[in-house]
Structure 1
Amino acid sequence: MENLENKNEPKLLYRLDKRNPLYVAFDLFIYLLICWIPIIFAIPNFVLGISIFSIILNIVCVYISLIILQILYSIIFFDYFEIYEDKMIYMDILGFKITLQAKQIDRFFSYGYCGVTEVVAVFKKRIFKILPTIILHSLTPKQESEIRNNLVYLSIKNFNTKDKKWKF
């Protein structure tokens, strides 16, 4: 006999709670090398003087630094990631939890780099979409494929249940 309390609970489609330690070490090594690049570009601009070009370059360097810090945070403090039928939950070791309903997801993308690890980034619907809401690094190709397939399922389900204001 089924538990009546769990009938209203959404079904868990996928849970990621473990990553390959070699992939995590590889990602940390690569991004710790990359994190010095914006600093190297920003230092000469402060020394040589301020111009429009140097201000724009410094803004770009700050943006790249923010992305790299977010990536390093997501690599180091990852705890688990769950996809349900109507939402996704990301939790880190420090207790920070992100819950996105299916209708809040704007877009997501996945890619592999260096031929080794895979990355999935999820963006929330908001005015400024310059930083992803959730970044999952150090994934195997199988984990990336399963996450991508479940996110596509979530997007299609959300697309089919949108309010039907538009009638043709």
Structure 2
Amino acid sequence: MNLPVPSVRFAYVETPLGRMLLGARGDALVGAWFEGQKYFPESGAGAEILAASDDPLFARARTQLQEYFSGVRREFDLPFAPEGSAHQRQVWAAIAQVPFGQTRGYGQVAEAIGRPKASRAVGAATGRNPLSVFIPCHRLVGGAGALTGYAGGLPRKQALLALEGVPVDGARIRRT
């Protein structure tokens, strides 16, 4: 028997780096995208956009984002269910393990998932991360600390790293 798949519901939340669209299916977040970022979802004609306060999950997500941006929260405590291929979900799970205030290279994540030569595939999966900030892909950097790629834009990546205390000089992180 095929059970119907619950549809995705959406809500906007304001952050210091711009408005984000949150998406949820059931009791888990499936997406968080900055407005205008690469791979912003097409929510479909007539999709209902809720007020974040009208949905308990969105209200918790908004509160936790506010705490993160105010420097109080370092980890998120929400149910996530990002939708993607098995490889993408494996990469996203590895990215979620990078601690607040630290960075990892794409090659390091490739090694962590048991595919040491797959740094480009890790980069491609990272770019499709549907849970910006919550799955901290901003903590991934290229060779020698280069600030490469971020679907939300490099200025946001720099701001997120600076918020976490990662020293950034121009387009590179400073190793301390």
Q: Which structure has greater helix proportion? A: 1
User: Whose radius of gyration is greater, 1 or 2?
Assistant: 1
TM range, smaller chain: under 0.3
- Structure showing greater relative contact order (alpha-carbon pairs closer than 8 Å, 6 or more residues apart): 1
TM-score (norm 2): 0.23
